[in-house]
Structure 1
């Protein structure tokens, strides 16, 4: 599918679907393009549209390169960040002196946001400003995801370190906690990957556009995007450290609970072992046992078993082991 945006009164305007590309097209958004659509763009713009396999390559030379006056840049962009299974897919940006072409096989929210934003006046109506605005939308979306992730980490931290003082102690489902920590760590890793690729694009654009015929405002926006990426990357690193800390803390809490259970079992064993020994002795049924003919033999045995159970408990409590 091709979404085409043309210059219209200082802004961009989306055209209805057509079998041809107008000469005044500024942004051509290729969404899961067919072979015919790729051929149409190649014939009209004069570029070789990268294949889906080409976009997946991770070498810097395959993601950032120039052919004549055409800049090819591939970034990893997040989508479905509100779900339990966020995805990060490559998107290629092709910047020519008059056109911006985007090739994608995913539908991130940032593109939808910019598609509505670019049709309002004041954001520019040329290819370079459209690219700057689109990257800005991608970065804003990553920032929003980081903010939401930070809030969720606060909630998760409160769950792990919840206090039982003054309230009935709640049982924490550590399996779900570990799963949640893993999901948040995975999302943060995808954000870091996305910011890394966008940071490379912003640095590359700063160098290339320094001598190109683009407005001073667009150059300033590209520099601002680079600074935003740096600050967001630092915050993502902080969240990565926090994920590691929460994971270690959760595993420590699990170990403490396991030790508490083992401690209870050990106490029960120590308390009931001496009475068991007493009961075993009087269960031998030897004929010459003096207590067998004693009227108080049975109460005596029960009392001895009780003393044998209570005495170790009092000793361990005195020593501070309980």
Structure 2
């Protein structure tokens, strides 16, 4: 689907795919999952080869940032949520000229709708392709910042669940408020947070590479004000990278702590099994002795022999238990 955004009016314009040229008032074309006819139309009127999803997914810098036919081709990874709420990445492409911006995407990206809606509501649409590009980048950076802020809240909740409050996970295998702990759930939450962090890092890396490239290659199109905006955005990306590094360190700490609790829990289980096995040895020995059925065993003929045998077995089991309690092993 092709959406044509203009620098005037309140709505986009309809452009027939048989048209010979793009109307001059169009400054941004948003291509969402373009089909063959739409791709052929764009290639015909723009005189370019529209990048495919495979082209945009390439990880080489030379494939993500290059100039061809006086147009700047850029691509990056964008983060979106699937139907299950899991974070996924999708390639997002830009084809930039001074007067026109073409964006190519294959999944819904809210920033694209936000740029258009905000421009309509504020009655200030981007005046050129470069302005549209900068507006999109601003929303992308804000989107990543919002995701990182939400992630920080999740890490705080994880930290509280592991270390603090009545519901904190304890070494004994129970929460402070009662009930069995679920370290597997904690591990899944940490894993999802780590996955989102790595995807946001990919998005920041892509934007951080694009801005210097655009400043260098599109110098003739950029006013001093636009260059200042791009440099300010570059500083924002640097600060977000630092923040993301801090969150990565916190994630690693929470992961190490959870794995440590898992190891302690396993050691507790082994300790209990060891105590039980040791406590069972003396009674087993006594029962085995009196089960030998030798002929000359006076206790077998004794009236109180049965009670005596049970008492000896019970005492032989209690002595190790008391010993373990005194030593603090159980």
Q: Which TM-score applies when normalising by structure 1?
A: 0.91
Does 138-147 or 30-39 show the bigger shift?
A: 30-39
Does 45-54 or 300-309 show the bigger shift?
A: 45-54
Which whole-Å CA distance do the structure 2 matches of 1:227 and 1:289 have between them?
Answer: 92
The reply on whether 1:148 has 2:150 as its aligned counterpart is: yes
Which whole-Å CA distance do the structure 1 matches of 2:318 and 2:94 have between them?
Answer: 78
Match of 2:54 in 1: 53
Summarize the alignment of residues 93-112 of structure 1 with structure 2, pairs less than 5 Å apart. 93-112=94-113
Query: CA distance change for structure 1 residues 168 and 137 in 2, over 3 Å: closer, same or farther?
Result: closer
The reply on whether 1:117 has 2:125 as its aligned counterpart is: no
1:313 to 310, 313, 321: 321
Match of 1:3 in 2: 3
| Secondary structure, aligned partner of 2:134 | helix
Give the C-alpha shift of residue 163 in structure 1: 5.4
Does 194-203 or 114-123 show the bigger shift?
A: 114-123
Instruction: Note if contact 1:118-1:130 (Cα within 8 Å) is conserved in structure 2.
Output: no
Give the C-alpha shift of residue 149 in structure 1: 1.2
Give the C-alpha shift of residue 166 in structure 1: 10
Instruction: Note if contact 1:80-1:108 (Cα within 8 Å) is conserved in structure 2.
Output: no
Give the C-alpha shift of residue 83 in structure 1: 4.3
Query: CA distance change for structure 1 residues 207 and 139 in 2, over 3 Å: closer, same or farther?
Result: same
Give the C-alpha shift of residue 102 in structure 1: 0.7
Which whole-Å CA distance do the structure 2 matches of 1:315 and 1:48 have between them?
Answer: 82
The reply on whether 1:237 has 2:239 as its aligned counterpart is: no
Structure 1 unaligned runs (5+)?
none
Which whole-Å CA distance do the structure 2 matches of 1:266 and 1:213 have between them?
Answer: 76
Instruction: Note if contact 1:139-1:229 (Cα within 8 Å) is conserved in structure 2.
Output: yes
| Secondary structure, aligned partner of 2:34 | coil
Match of 1:91 in 2: 92
What is the number of equivalent residue pairs in this alignment? 319
The reply on whether 1:139 has 2:141 as its aligned counterpart is: yes
Give the C-alpha shift of residue 61 in structure 1: 1.1
Give the C-alpha shift of residue 68 in structure 1: 4.1
Match of 1:195 in 2: 204
Match of 2:195 in 1: 186
Could you list the structure 1 runs, at least 4 aligned residues long, displaced by more than 6 angstroms after superposition: none
